[in-house]
Structure 1
Amino acid sequence: MPSSPRSVPSPPHSAASGSRLAASPVALAALVAANLVPLVGVVWFDWSLKALLVAYWLESGVVGLLNVPKILAASGRGDGGSSINATINGRRVDLSPPESPRDGFHFYPTNVPIAGFFAMHYGIFWVVHGVFVWSFDAFAGGAAGAVGGVPLGAVLLAAGATVLSHGGSFAANFVGREEYRSVSPGTQMSEPYRRVIVLHLTIILGAFLVAASGAPAAALVVMVVVKTALDAGAHLREHARAEKRAERPEEPAGERIEVNDASA
């Protein structure tokens, strides 16, 4: 039988935090700027399609890595949830938010199990995605000349811009605007999947279309612009959800997550 949800008090909520939760325009500008690095690479430095795919793959890794401290610091009730339970290998684990959240940004030992599960699950997703990216020549079927090589230095520069962008958003929005107060560890665990899976499925589809057309520069530019627009939209939706959660911190509804390991 499922364990009964335990009541978790609302985290401390500063009077000013409600008005501070709108997404930081500086963080949004940094996100767009980071996305312009691949555009510059395509237009002025002849980046290949494969270089773009590697850069975007590294970006998804940064998103997942930064989500671990977010889960560890999450102290809210999520989308109205007061208790989170998961079943891992047939064992029920209590993954509720901290019972006594402290004022300010802190990591909570009780959030370690769900952070560990996320790191394992997302890590597998990221590795499989990487295998596809580095083997794209074979998947594209005869488009090896179109995808070309990967300029490692330039791609690492793009990855560095991504770290600054997402790291800045973490500092400005999650910490500075206190989004950690209103999100539960389980809800935070799901955020990267909302953002990354749809975005990168679109990228993969675009990559096949670009490869089929011979990867002209114009097609690569369109791909970068579409990805930037999708990324900016996902960023705004993520912080809009955070704002809505902050507006209803007293809702008593329960939340339960069932996580079944396929290897069980």
Structure 2
Amino acid sequence: MKGRFLDPSEIARAYRDPLSWVSLAVDLLPVVAVFAFGWAATPLVALYWLENLVIGVFTVLRMVGTAIASSVSFVMALFTVPFFFFHYGLFCFGHGVFLNAFATGGNGGSPDPLGLIRWAFGTAPEMWWFVSAIAAVSSIYLLVDFFGRGEYKTSNPGTEMFAPYGRIVTLHIAIILGAAVAFTMDEPLLGVLLLIFIRVIFGVIVTVMRRRKRDAQVAPIGAP
């Protein structure tokens, strides 16, 4: 049913694509981190913050990718890429400072951007593997959807620049609320599982949105 992200029939349609299952598997990897490596709330929050940085990197790649299609997009990219790098970077930095202060009880000092990244990766020795998994899935989507299905031909740097903000703002709010519960609950395990659950539900919504976008692209020639 249009307008309902969690409509069962629409979710089933979205998960006919094998890539959707790959994405779900990566979203569920933190469960492995909790039970196999003993992760608590701090490394989980750090992982989700690092995911925002990965999203930013691939947004820049998509912005640059649109320049392949036209000279107009190329000129736009010369201005929008630096602006996005600064604005999105500042956005993530502010969020990172807040999460760092929240996780360390205000004892983390005043870290610079690189200091925040080092802090995030230092919260768990396995962090590199989980961030690499997120980056790998993002790479697949970039190749399959953006270049393979020709999205770069119909998009432009401006569209790509604003695309992640709605998702990121929603994710930031969810992470902050979930982290607050995880850090304050008397049952730490229940708290971190709740945080993972919030992120997984968010991932399902993103997957449904991707399915809708694909349907809209093929509608003129008849969607399957």
Report deviation, 1:201: 0.8
Residue type at the aligned position of 2:202 = L
Classify the secondary structure of the residue corresponding to 2:125.
helix
Q: Is the 8 A contact 2:41 2:183 kept in 1?
A: yes
Matching of residues 38-187 of structure 1 within 5 Å:
38-74=30-66, 98=70, 108-136=74-102, 137-138=104-105, 151-187=123-159
The more displaced of 126-135 and 150-159 is 150-159
* Structure with greater helix share of residues: 2
- Rounded to whole Å, the distance in 2 between the matches of 1:242 and 1:184 is 17
SS at match of 2:191: helix
Percent of aligned pairs with the same amino acid: 25
Residues 223-245 of structure 1, C-alpha deviations (whole Å, 9 max, x = no match):
21221121231243145336536
2:165 corresponds to which residue? 193
Would the aligned equivalents of 2:62 and 2:146 in 1 still touch at CA under 8 Å?
yes
Matched, 1:35 2:27: yes
Runs of 4+ in 1 over 6 A off after TM superposition: none
Against the structure 1 CA distance between its residues 57 and 161, is the aligned structure 2 distance closer, same or farther, given a 3 Å change threshold? same
Q: Is the deviation greater in 22-31 or in 40-49? A: 22-31
Give 1:69 deviation, angstroms.
1.5
1:75–1:183 contact (8 Å) kept in structure 2: no
Q: Which runs of 5+ in 2 are unaligned?
A: 1-13, 107-120
Deviation at 1:62, TM superposition (A): 0.2
For structure 1, list consecutive stretches of 5 or more residues without a partner in the other structure: 1-21, 77-96, 102-107, 140-148, 249-264
TM-score (norm 1): 0.64
CA RMSD after TM alignment: 2.9
> Structure 1 residues 236 and 222 mapped into 2: Cα distance closer, same or farther (>3 Å)?
same
> What is the letter of the counterpart of residue 92 of structure 2?
W
For 2:206 and 2:131, the matched residues in 1 are separated by: 19
Q: What code does the residue aligned with 2:79 have?
A: P
Bigger-Rg structure (1/2) = 1
Change (3 A) 1:245 1:116: farther
Distance 1:117 1:246 in 2: 32
Q: 1:217 to 1:177 in 2, by over 3 A?
A: same
- The answer to which structure, 1 or 2, has the higher relative contact order (CA under 8 A, 6+ apart) is 1
